[in-house]
Structure 1
Amino acid sequence: MKTNTKLFADRKRTNILSVPEQKFISYLVPKIPQWITSDGLTAIGLFGSLVIFASFVLANYFTIHFLWMALIGFFIQWFGDSLDGRIAYYRNKSRKWYGFALDIVMDWISTVFIGLGFHLYVESEYEIMGFLLVALYGWAMIISQLRYKITDKYTIDAGLLGPTEVRVVLCLVIALEVFVPGSILYCVFLICTALFFINLVDTKKLMALGDERDAQEKKVM
């Protein structure tokens, strides 16, 4: 499989899995039926988030083995979220700002559903961790959008980590929970701690970029 570089010309990727991921997407895009539109793929991605949410709810009320559904849900979510914009570029039907706005809104809705599912799955004294997970990921999303505003360069990755790596980590955490019930609490705590410090570092970098942009604009005036 070869990477179709034109499909990814609109954004810079720095995540660990970027090379194999882009090759896989380049392989999949031409095989998507014409009747599946970019918006249709966005809807598929949202459906994946609903599957993840349902897996947590069913695992809470019935059996923990329903958590295996979440892994399927994450793949469905990745499929829709990763291919919706790429299919538009491939078919020369891209709508930059429409797609950008829709992508951000759907990402936030998906994050809320996943956080809510976790919130309903864990015992009441640990529910705050679901809120923290959503809040910290939301902070990362805000940093990404502000970085785009300041630099005019869009990237969805925080260094070596991107949405795909986050999905892989969450899948591993959920799989571990099936075999070791209760382990998800410790894993999510570690994830929240890591996100907090990553966001702190990225916020500091963002402020530096803002200072640099201010200095450049003052020189032009």
Structure 2
Amino acid sequence: MSGQKINKKLFEDRKRTNILSNPEQKFISYLVPRIPNWISSDGLTGIGLFGSIMIMASFILGKYYHIDYLLLGIVGFFIQWFGDSLDGRIAYYRNKSRKWYGFSLDIVMDWISTVMIGLGYVFYAQGNFELTGFVLVSLYGWAMILSLLRYKVTDKYTIDAGIVGPTEIRVIICIVLLIEVFSVGAIHYLVMGICAILFIINIIDTKKLLVLGDARDKEEKEAKKSENL
């Protein structure tokens, strides 16, 4: 797979800036032609949702049965990535893309998955650490809102915050789960750290968005003045 090239047509609808974008897009370009025809884009969305259910279940099983069940969450994140990353790409590859249908479904499923994962962590956490799960979901929701507003303001859709995107977040959480298996209780402090980083990123992205919004306001005012001359 080292010689696999990126099929740029598959990624024309969005700009990616995340640090893993190049190997990720190469891997997706490798996988897309190999997806059986009987698996539809909606079917892949369902696979991604199943991965989120696995992640939520891994937290519950990890708390009430055995800590090693958290490793199931790592498998769940891969399945979630597989379905979430390939559902839209397979539609483009097969010339069956539905821009607004796919966009709407993607946002709804992302939010449902985020809530499920956060809920799983709330089940797993103890005492005041349960609030951290709520904070994490809220911060990720804030990031999703920023992404949608950025799309509205700039007409360009991006799901990344600089070099960090959904794939990087999945990898980070998988590492956190692995650490928790060997050092029980560490996850609570690591999640607090992730929340702090997300908060800073969201503040920076909010400021950038407001600058973009102000610039567009000025452009539209200038355009109206030109029309009235």
- The alignment status of 1:215 with 2:209, answered yes or no, reads no
Instruction: Return the offset for 1:124.
Output: 2.6
Which residue of structure 1 lines up, in the alignment, with residue 163 of structure 2? 160
> What is the rounded CA distance, in whole Å, between the counterparts of 1:60 and 1:178 in structure 2?
11
Which residue of structure 2 lines up, in the alignment, with residue 74 of structure 1? 77
- The alignment status of 1:107 with 2:110, answered yes or no, reads yes
Q: Normalising by structure 1, report the TM-score.
A: 1.00
Instruction: Return the offset for 1:125.
Output: 2.1
What letter corresponds to residue 193 of structure 2 in structure 1?
Answer: L
Which residue of structure 2 lines up, in the alignment, with residue 88 of structure 1? 91
> What is the rounded CA distance, in whole Å, between the counterparts of 2:169 and 2:206 in structure 1?
19
Which residue of structure 1 lines up, in the alignment, with residue 119 of structure 2? 116
Q: How does 1:44-193 map to 2 (within 5 A)?
A: 44-193=47-196
Structure 2: stretches of 5+ with no match in the other structure: 225-229
Identity %: 68
> What is the rounded CA distance, in whole Å, between the counterparts of 2:88 and 2:205 in structure 1?
25
> What is the rounded CA distance, in whole Å, between the counterparts of 1:124 and 1:93 in structure 2?
48
Q: Deviation digits for residues 196-220 of structure 1, max 9, x if unmatched?
A: 0100000000000000000010111
Which residue of structure 2 lines up, in the alignment, with residue 28 of structure 1? 31
Instruction: Return the offset for 1:126.
Output: 1.2
> What is the rounded CA distance, in whole Å, between the counterparts of 2:144 and 2:216 in structure 1?
21
What letter corresponds to residue 199 of structure 1 in structure 2?
Answer: N
Q: How does 1:192-211 map to 2 (within 5 A)?
A: 192-211=195-214
Tell me the secondary structure at the aligned position of residue 125 of structure 1.
helix
> What is the rounded CA distance, in whole Å, between the counterparts of 2:151 and 2:171 in structure 1?
25
> What is the rounded CA distance, in whole Å, between the counterparts of 2:177 and 2:100 in structure 1?
35
- Could you say what the CA RMSD is over the residues aligned between the two structures, in angstroms? 0.4
- For these two proteins, the number of residue pairs brought into alignment is 221
> What is the rounded CA distance, in whole Å, between the counterparts of 2:185 and 2:127 in structure 1?
13
> What is the rounded CA distance, in whole Å, between the counterparts of 1:22 and 1:54 in structure 2?
29
Larger radius of gyration: 2
Structure 1: stretches of 5+ with no match in the other structure: none
> What is the rounded CA distance, in whole Å, between the counterparts of 2:55 and 2:20 in structure 1?
22
> What is the rounded CA distance, in whole Å, between the counterparts of 1:126 and 1:183 in structure 2?
11
Instruction: Return the offset for 1:29.
Output: 0.1
Q: Deviation digits for residues 83-117 of structure 1, max 9, x if unmatched?
A: 00000000000000000000000000000000000
What letter corresponds to residue 69 of structure 1 in structure 2?
Answer: L
